[in-house]
Structure 1
Amino acid sequence: MNFSLLRIMWNDWPALACWVALPVVWIIHWGFPYLQRGAVPLPLALPAGVSVALLAVLFWRIKRVADLFAHGVAVSGTITDLRIARDRGRLEFEFEAGGTRLRSWMPVHKTRSLLSLARGDRVEVLHDRCRPRRAIVRTLFAR
């Protein structure tokens, strides 16, 4: 395990969104009746269900990175584009797998380590053996 859970939750946009949304759901659930006098609290099943869905997405994103670190193929790749809108973005890169040049992308959060990457930079890419387009830039999640 050479990846960092904190770096996954900080650099991967969907993981970060789920991580932040979990306490927000419960704060809204418990705080709304105090802000809106006379409001009936929502049924407990609603925030619990939303929390289960958020946790499922968070664990899926963590497992995806963990699987690529454990079983992925490490190749050299090149950053082709980095698009950022506010605090999130899309990191696009290309690499060679099985003699074929492939392009892939990943949703990212705007961090210092992400901003250190630029178009044309060489990076280490981890890709799935069976589905090579399923890939990540290793340096964003490594310890």
Structure 2
Amino acid sequence: MRPSLLGIVNTDWPALFAAIGLPMILVIAALYPHVFPVAGSQWALLLEVGLPLALACAGLLMWRCLRVLALFRSGVPSTGRITQIQLAKDRGRIDFSYELNGSSHRSWQPVHQTRQVLALETGQAVQVLAHPRKAGVAIIKDLFHKSGDA
């Protein structure tokens, strides 16, 4: 079962940051000239500052979502083990190890704190999807499914 885009954004911290940042940047760039009068056109600010930042957020969001979807489509399933969980405020990082083609690998995943993330413990076994040709590129599959999903 593939994750939804909303599920990816809710789990993957960089994707969530980009999804929140994209509309905020556009609104701020559009409203700024009305709140703080500046010389020149309000569209100049939108085009010179807001648009490049919005495009950067859109690119980050697209890259993160496509990365997860590609691993769900062609990633090699493996059983992994959580080696470390670091949480701060609403985000964090989960380090994990797994085996692929007879070799041990380590990877990590930036996460937004969700119920699934908070339920994880160091040493816990997890299902991993690993890139078949790039050692160390992997995600924890379990984090992108709602409880009870396969």
TM-score (norm 2): 0.88
Task: Report what 1:140 is aligned to.
Answer: 143
Task: Report what 2:125 is aligned to.
Answer: 122
Once residues 66 and 31 of structure 1 are traced to their aligned partners in structure 2, the CA distance between those partners, rounded to angstroms, is: 35
Q: Which amino acid in the other structure matches residue 38 of structure 2?
A: A
Please point out which of 100, 105, 122 is paired with 1:102. Answer: 105
State whether structure 2 residue 22 is matched by structure 1 residue 14: no
SS at match of 1:123: strand
SS at match of 1:115: helix
Q: What are the ranges of 5 or more consecutive residues in structure 1 without an aligned counterpart?
A: none
Q: Which amino acid in the other structure matches residue 18 of structure 1?
A: A
Deviation at 1:42, TM superposition (A): 5.9
State whether structure 2 residue 85 is matched by structure 1 residue 82: yes
Task: Report what 1:39 is aligned to.
Answer: 38
State whether structure 2 residue 70 is matched by structure 1 residue 67: yes
Residues 29-85 of structure 1: per-residue CA shift (max 9 Å, x gap): 12223333x334362312122211111111111110011001000010111111011
Once residues 17 and 73 of structure 1 are traced to their aligned partners in structure 2, the CA distance between those partners, rounded to angstroms, is: 28
Task: Return 65-74 or 94-103, whichever deviates more.
Answer: 94-103
Q: Which amino acid in the other structure matches residue 117 of structure 1?
A: L
Q: What are the ranges of 5 or more consecutive residues in structure 2 without an aligned counterpart?
A: none
Q: Which amino acid in the other structure matches residue 33 of structure 2?
A: P
Once residues 132 and 54 of structure 1 are traced to their aligned partners in structure 2, the CA distance between those partners, rounded to angstroms, is: 27
Runs (4 or more) in structure 1 with deviation over 4 Å come to none
Q: Which amino acid in the other structure matches residue 48 of structure 1?
A: L
Size of the aligned set, in residue pairs, is 142
Once residues 138 and 104 of structure 2 are traced to their aligned partners in structure 1, the CA distance between those partners, rounded to angstroms, is: 13
Once residues 141 and 133 of structure 2 are traced to their aligned partners in structure 1, the CA distance between those partners, rounded to angstroms, is: 18
Q: Tell me which of the two structures has the higher relative contact order, counting C-alpha pairs closer than 8 angstroms and 6 or more residues apart.
A: 1
SS at match of 1:76: strand
Once residues 5 and 139 of structure 1 are traced to their aligned partners in structure 2, the CA distance between those partners, rounded to angstroms, is: 15
